Structure 1
Amino acid sequence: MTKHDASGWHVTDTLAARYADDTLPEPDAWSLEKHLEHCAGCAVRVSGAVRATAAGAVLGDVRAAVLAANPATAAHPAPGTTPVTAPVREIPTGKAPGHPLRAPRFSRLPRLARLLWAAGPAVRGAWLTAVLGVAAGAMLLGLVGGFAQARVVLLVIAPVLPVAGVALSYGPHADPLYEITAATPGGGLRLALTRTAAVLAVSLPLLTLTGLVLPASGAPAAAAWLLPGLALSLATLALASFTGSRTAAGITAGGWLCAVLAPLPGAPEAEAADRLAEQVSRCLDGAATQGAWAAATVLGAALLAARRPAYDRLPRH
């Protein structure tokens, strides 16, 4: 399907033709589009194949009409721009009207900027401060304040924090360039998973290490929340394909908090901490409980895989 040289694989004429007439399998099409972000030669080859189709004629007419309405731009096109190569996934570059359309050249950004973009708003925003605040507060409560159930409180809050990070990492509310980034080959579910992985990479080790230094006092192990946190994050992503990320996060986080805090209403103040510890143990402790969370994780991953196409339809909630 491809040809190779010292720089790696490149698009063949046959592959470009299959992409242009929309007979290329979706995974191969996404891989090709990702390659076009970095390879001008292949972009020209695919662009030529698209122009030979009926879609290419339509795009040509649209481009001609736009250039006719902007003669100054037509006389001075942007250097190095590449015409649209995809028949359905064309996106604006943010340039002045009349410039050819192309996918964003993220490879031209500094490496740190690309990493921050991929990590998402949550990891570089207020969410990270909140996670650090929870960890510091738990340590002060347990080590300085002498509160014996500090780990229990942390285990109640910990599974909710990744869910909040997921909600803040993806969607129109989180990214002013959401429509553009979601339409790129690296967008959609791939971008959502990248940002979720960044959220988990920060919260899982930080909160687990914090739990390790807190007094145990009969509480579950410090790592007992890891599977629940992962399961709730995957459930949030899957549910977000139906309702949007913020609503999904509210449902999953709210369900968890209702489950662990259920015994507290009406409990005597002197017994509240003990009842909370017992309920957290029911929700997190034991091989059977952890096995149930593992099954929920697998189920959430399967549902998310089945809902992948929904992330390519640019939901606006």
Structure 2
Amino acid sequence: MTHRDSHPWHVGDDQATRYAEGTLPEPDAWSLEKHVEDCARCASRVSAAVGGTAAGTVLAAVRAAVLESAPGAAVSGEPVPGRAATAAGPARASAGGAGGRPVVSRFARLLWAAGPAVRGAWLPAVLGVAVAALALSYGAGFPGARALLLAIAPVVPVAGVALSYGPHADPLHEVTAATPGGGLRLALTRTVAVLAVSLPLLTLTGLLLPASGAPAAAAWLLPGLALALASLALASFVGCRAAAGVTGGGWLCAVLAPMAGAPGGAATLRLAEQLSRCLDGVAAQGAWAAAAVLSAALLTARRPAYDRPLRP
């Protein structure tokens, strides 16, 4: 990469060719992708290199199909936010337009990368959980609202992760999974977005609810993180939705089972007691922290699985 103009370096012809062929080392590929977001000259050079490969025809067809199916998202030939890419190299190289300006804004790319945590129906669903808990407590006078919230809260990030990544979440999943910026990197980006939305919102809601014998409002944070990481690790074997069903379903069975057969008033009390056993104390929180570390270690070991399309 040479040094000229206002950029500290630019993409050379050899590097553009190696990137298009998929032989450029991964760190260099990431650096190149970041550079072409703001450099129209290099974006054109890399785009031409990608277009000269066997994947070029496929990329052009995919881009044309996306623009045709979403005309409202294209203005003056601008592509919709997204990462049309193949193992040979992503179409993000075309992110530079005439006049040297980026075709897709940084904010639009961030919205796409974040997934359903900031768009679609997932955020209203999280808000609905929070509002429902407040309505139960202050509208209906239900004393166990915090206990119910703490039972449901750890499943919310799991559901968000399941909805954020995979063939069901991205029509170009098979393409993005093979790119340097796709795969586990994209899955983690969307998981962070899910956690950044759900953790503070549901914790704040818990603080506004009467304790009524339930654990502290923040007691679910480590379990929520551990279950989200466990879902990502398990998804490398069985897919995101099946993994979420196992981890989220397992949690709900564990905390709700003692309520089975309990009379009306005792059900809430039993739920609070079970949550206290699962969430309260140094031993319980330490176990969740260990589970999060182990899940992260397994996820790291399973990273190559994310370089291929996951199961639906």
TM range (shorter): 0.7 to 0.9
**Does the alignment pair 1:284 with 2:307?**
no
Conserved? CA contact 1:3–1:10, under 8 Å: yes
Unaligned runs of 5+ in 2: 61-76, 78-84, 97-101
Confirm or deny that 1:307 pairs with 2:302. yes
Structure 1 segment 152-171 matched on structure 2, within 5 A = 152-171=147-166
Matched residue, 2:31:
31
Match of 1:6 in 2: 6
Shift of 1:26: 2.9
Tell me the CA shift for residue 47 of structure 1. Answer: 8.4
Q: Describe how 1:1-317 pairs up with structure 2 within 5 A.
A: 3=3, 6-11=6-11, 25-39=25-39, 41-42=41-42, 59=53, 88-90=87-89, 103=93, 105=95, 107-317=102-312
- Summarize the Cα distance change of 1:87–1:177 in structure 2 as closer, same or farther, 3 Å threshold: closer
SS in 1 for 2:116: coil
AA at the equivalent of 1:7: H
Per the alignment, in what secondary structure is the counterpart of residue 10 of structure 2? strand
Q: What is the identity percentage for the equivalent residue pairs of Structure 1 and Structure 2?
A: 72
**TM-score with structure 1 length normalisation?**
0.76
> CA offset at residue 105 of structure 1?
2.2
Counterpart contact for 2:157–2:228, Cα < 8 Å: yes
Would you say the 8 A contact 1:34–1:185 is kept in 2?
Answer: no
2: CA distance, partners of 1:270 / 1:120 = 40
The structural deviation recorded for 1:148 is 1.7
In 2, the alpha carbon distance for the partners of 1:123 and 1:21 equals 34
Structure-2-length-normalised TM-score = 0.77
Structure 1 gaps of 5+ residues are 67-78, 80-85, 94-101
CA RMSD of aligned residues (A): 3.4
Q: 1:197 to 1:20 in 2, by over 3 A?
A: closer
Taking the aligned partners of 1:111 and 1:3, their CA distance within structure 2 comes to 25
User: For residues 155-194 of structure 1, what are the alpha-carbon distances to aligned partners after superposition, in whole Å with 9 as ceiling and x for unaligned?
Assistant: 0000001111111111111122333444444322221111
Count of aligned positions: 283
